[in-house]
Structure 1
Amino acid sequence: MSTVQPLRIALADDQALVRAGLRALLEQQGITIAFEADDGAQLLDRLATTPVDVILSDIRMPGVDGIEALRQLRERGDATPVLLLTTFDEPELPLQAAAAGAQGFLLKDAAPGDLREAIEQVAAGQVLLQPVSTDPIRSRYRYHADDAPRERFTAREVAILRLLAGGYSNREIARAMFLAEGTVKNYVSAILDKLDTRDRTRAVLKAITLRVI
């Protein structure tokens, strides 16, 4: 009879007390902390030799922060799921992190059960796109009526927009949705055209503002 191996987590936060609290909380729930890091640079160094199932990282850290560490991780071809810790007063950071390739976000005051569930979800390949309120984003980036999409979005286009918000590449979207990469490229082009933007990150921002996703 085989036994299920506990999830192995890399924990990055510049505050030792926060790391200690998270470690105790996760270990009580049967999750193994493979290692801790106090900044993004140390996180990247340790990941080079110690693979994990999920990376749980604060966004704001001195030196190499969580988003920059995520960018460098993806640039070197490491697809380890990343779950970033954030707060309600950081409405723009989740968009930047999604564009960099994060699988999800979690509020720092999340309940223990929510923390475990989020880790298990991203470990299983799911994407948590909106763990923080998008209302601050919408209030800051208001689009006028003439900025509304030129046409209504199909269900498939909305699904692709959500994956774009998660930082997925065309190839990854194609694999996830069982489509040809060229077909995904055509969908993305149509989405950008409807939102009147050439930039994927701005398209995601505008789609959130307009309540498309």
Structure 2
Amino acid sequence: MSPPIRIALADDQALVRSGLTALLAGFPQLQLVAQADDGQALLDALALAPADVILSDIRMPGLDGFGLVRALRARGDATPVVLLTTFDDEDLPLRAAEAGAQGFLLKDASPEDLVEAIERVANGETLLSPVPTDPVRARYAYRDQAEPTDTFTEREVAILRLLAGGYSNKEIARAVFLSEGTVKNYVSDILDKLGTRDRTRAVLKAITLRII
């Protein structure tokens, strides 16, 4: 049996920390090893309790979530970070990616979505926009549910998630450190694999097929 995924948590609201602590305790594959009420306190705690995945609120007094990620990367710590927020701001996923975070999730996501996000970033994946919930999937169900012609790479899934956030090729290129031309080629390959004519149809089909 695999060891549990060690989680470190930063949130300035005690009730949120208590709620997430209780939620994580319900999943035996997860283990909360550290928690703090701001980014700097969590950085200090990580020196004593290394984690596999960090969950952090974005907006906190003192060192916020973006600052926490930047501080980790500056000291050479590549621990995956999933940033949490109650604010559905269209710029947040891109800012999270630019800071060096691997995931971004709204706090109203279901427990299953949160656990899925943790497990996926622990396995090296990147979630650059909120994981669609089941009601969202149902609302945007796409009529063509034929399987893709080929599997998707991790990079292609990351670009699909940014497409779902409405980002341009230029913005995506900046977030994933590629040239705009390379992103354009990736988007073309994604459309071909999904058998769709444009970005909107590609995103809707990808959500329907649970590719993102």
Measured against the shorter chain, the TM-score band is 0.5 to 0.7
Name the aligned partner's letter for residue 8 of structure 1: R
2:127/2:158 contact within 8 Å kept: no
Instruction: Write out per-residue CA displacement over residues 4-40 of structure 1, whole angstroms, 9 at most, x where no aligned residue.
Output: 2111100110001100000000011122110101001
CA drift of 1:104 comes to 0.9
TM-align CA RMSD:
3.1
Name the aligned partner's letter for residue 100 of structure 1: A
Q: What's the counterpart of residue 95 of structure 1? A: 94
Task: Note the residue ranges of structure 2 that are not aligned, 5 or more in a row.
Answer: 133-151, 163-171, 186-198, 204-212
Task: Note the residue ranges of structure 1 that are not aligned, 5 or more in a row.
Answer: 134-154, 170-186, 195-209
Corresponding residue pairs, total: 157
Q: Secondary structure at the match of 1:46?
A: helix
User: Partners of 1:127 and 1:38 in 2: how far apart?
Assistant: 25
Instruction: Write out per-residue CA displacement over residues 37-85 of structure 1, whole angstroms, 9 at most, x where no aligned residue.
Output: 1001111111233211100111010011000110111111100010111
| Percent identity of equivalent pairs | 57
1:125 aligns with 2:124: yes
C-alpha change, 1:17 and 1:99, in structure 2 (3 Å) is same
Aligned 1:32-181 pairs, distance under 5 A:
32-131=31-130, 159=156, 162=159
1:59/1:66 contact within 8 Å kept: yes
CA drift of 1:100 comes to 1.1
Which residue, 21, 24, 46 being the options, matches 1:23?
21
Moved over 3 A (4+): 158-161, 163-169, 189-194, 210-213
Name the aligned partner's letter for residue 2 of structure 2: V
Instruction: Write out per-residue CA displacement over residues 123-171 of structure 1, whole angstroms, 9 at most, x where no aligned residue.
Output: 01111122179xxxxxxxxxxxxxxxxxxxxx99x839839679556xx
User: Partners of 1:132 and 1:60 in 2: how far apart?
Assistant: 20
Q: TM-score, normalised by structure 1?
A: 0.64
C-alpha change, 1:160 and 1:98, in structure 2 (3 Å) is same
Q: Secondary structure at the match of 1:24?
A: helix
Q: Secondary structure at the match of 1:35?
A: strand
Q: Secondary structure at the match of 2:9?
A: strand
CA drift of 1:112 comes to 1.1
Q: What's the counterpart of residue 179 of structure 1? A: none
